Amino acid sequence: MYDWHKRYEARYALDRSRRTVLIEPQSYMNLSGRPVQAFATFYKVPPPRILVVVDDLDLPLGTLRMRAEGSSGGHNGLKSLIDALGPGFPRLRIGIGRGHSPDAIDRVLTPFTESERAVLDAVVERAIGGIEIWLEQGVMQAMNVLNAKGPN
């Protein structure tokens, strides 16, 4: 378990054994680039060594998709990060789907059902495994595992 602290509009924890900083911006999602950029500057971390993990309404529930870089795909948090860091950082999208409501705000503010929770618990474990691969072997190997077709 990590000891969490606050700085630069974010909660953060250090994993010294892996020389890793975990950051959870506490700003509005569409302003999340500011705290991430502040940490990147302070720790002198280039964008390719920053893995951003986001939920994604436009991916089916339980789908994982990792990319080495790219566009925001309409995700406001990623837009803010691209504005702050440029597009050259890896990102892991975790599909939460749109649920039964066409309104995005309803989806992100409504708790998941029990069956959705079970799917997400399993996909979070899979995402953690992919993040471990990213840390140890790099983005291409993590993409090969996480983006593989098959059960999510």
Highest mean pLDDT among 41-50, 54-63, 99-108: 41-50
pLDDT tens digits, one per residue of 115-137: 888 988 999 999 999 999 999 99
**pTM (two decimals):** 0.84
Confidence of residue 105 (pLDDT cuts 50, 70, 90): low
Nearest by Cα to 63 from 91, 100, 92: 92
pLDDT at position 104: 66
Record the tokens describing residue 81, joined without a space.
């990060």
Confidence of residue 41 (pLDDT cuts 50, 70, 90): very high
